[in-house]
Amino acid sequence: MTTVYERRAAPAVVPAPRRSPAGGVLALLWAGAAAVLALWWTDTTSVVGAAGWLTGAGRLAGLLCGYACAVLVGLMARVPVLERRIGSDRVARWHAMAGRYTVCLLVAHIVLILLGYAAQDSVSIWHETTTVVLDYPDMLKATFGTLILFAVGITSARAARRRISHEFWYYVHLLTYVAVFLAFFHQLTLGNEFNGHAGATAAWYALYLGVAALVLWFRVLEPVRLNLRHRLRVESVHKEAPGVFSVVVRGRGLDQLDVRAGQFFRWRFLGEGLGWTSTPYSLSAPPRRDLMRITVKALGDHSAAVSMLRPGTRVWAEGPYGSLTADRRTAPKSLLIAGGVGITPLRALFETLPGEVTLLYRARTAEDLALGGELEAIARWRGAQVRYALNGPDGSRPSLTAESLRANFPDLAGHDVYLCGPHGFARDLYEALRAAGVPDRRIHHESFEL
């Protein structure tokens, strides 16, 4: 195991934890949906007959779908206040939920509108469909956009995600921008709520242009600025444990990055066939003046290829993201629980987190303890504790139940607990911590299982 960083600073004093803006953001999003409903209500003077009810419901579903599309793209923009204060995992779950709402509203809009129009014109559904698609203004573009959104929805389903590569899913997902652009214009051309209503039209343009500006700034211009300024390249690669490697990245003025222990970047290594893939890896040590480090376990083609990176390989990074930081701290004592390569962000926190800190590291064998030498050195330097939960000689797994946690940490309920590891491990530990009396607000973890 290789210790890369010898110089360590004393833990900084962290201000009182900041209140998460999650509630306010959700309230704002639902207020926007209510405004859309009010727009439909004020423009709907009366509803007559089955055709009127079907058409009216279809219009409302279409308006809400258009709003949901803007929300969907906004949640993809990686806005810092969302990514760092609310948490990338929660924003990702909001995005997934918004995607399901969008697809459901889109289906409802199409079905209800076509049924309503067909009943109004006394023609078949097929005849009405071909008429709408081929004869109505901007509908061909909207139809292509709809097909793309359906493709994105299908490839985002859990069953499909297990059968396709991350790269294929990622690039199909990016087509959401194209779909929203293609569908936008028919909303204004055919939407009764916008015809002759300059205020509503201006508000709709402002919504979409504002979201487009967020995407342009935070997903394009900010990453370009970061990489032009810091000029990242691979410095070296070190083996830490079987199948676990650390990559040291060199750049200019890295101590000026607004990054905190526990956060991650999305990395592209522009060589070795890895440049098409952007993968999130946490920093496994606080950044120094010209060095950053990630630690990666070979779990797939991309992570396995990381071990073969050559010094000098150019690196493209986006971030930092994530909220698993000292900002969440609410108590003077902290317990860090890592499972496997989940040690990566917690190693950085172990060095910098203020107060009394204990680290519990779960691994199969002593050989699998990545960064173990560094952890022991940090523990000695700051007077902290490191405990290991390893399999027994017969392969039996250690007990990490509520009872065993309380026995080993008698005042556990008074700790902040930072948790990182495989999804199943994190889920089981979360349930054990809750059963042991740790309040939910003091259990800090990020999961990217959608």
CA angle at 104 for the pair 102 and 107, rounded to the nearest 5°: 105
- Scan for tokens 């201006």, then name that residue: 202
Please say whether the beta carbons of 437 and 409 come within 8 A.
Answer: no
Mean pLDDT by runs of 10 across the 450 residues of the chain is: 43 53 91 93 81 91 95 92 86 91 95 93 91 91 93 87 80 90 89 82 94 95 95 94 92 88 92 77 90 87 80 93 89 92 92 92 90 91 91 86 91 92 90 93 76
Interacting residues of 228 by C-beta distance below 8 A, sequence separation 6+ = none
Interacting residues of 123 by C-beta distance below 8 A, sequence separation 6+ = 131
What's the pLDDT at 47? 75
What's the pLDDT at 272? 65
What domains appear along the chain, each with residue ranges and CATH number? Answer: 30-225 (no CATH), 231-321 (2.40.30.10), 326-445 (3.40.50.80)
Closest to 444 in 3D by CA, of 87, 13, 94, 81: 87
What's the pLDDT at 142? 92
Q: How far apart are CA 96 and CA 90, in angstroms?
A: 10
Q: What is the maximum span of the chain, computed from C-alpha positions, in angstroms?
A: 82
What's the pLDDT at 6? 45
What's the pLDDT at 415? 93
Helix (H) / strand (E) containing 235: strand 233-241
pTM (predicted TM-score)? 0.84
Please say whether the beta carbons of 83 and 91 come within 8 A.
Answer: yes
How many residues does this entry show for the chain? 450
φ, ψ dihedrals at 412, nearest 5°:
-55, -40
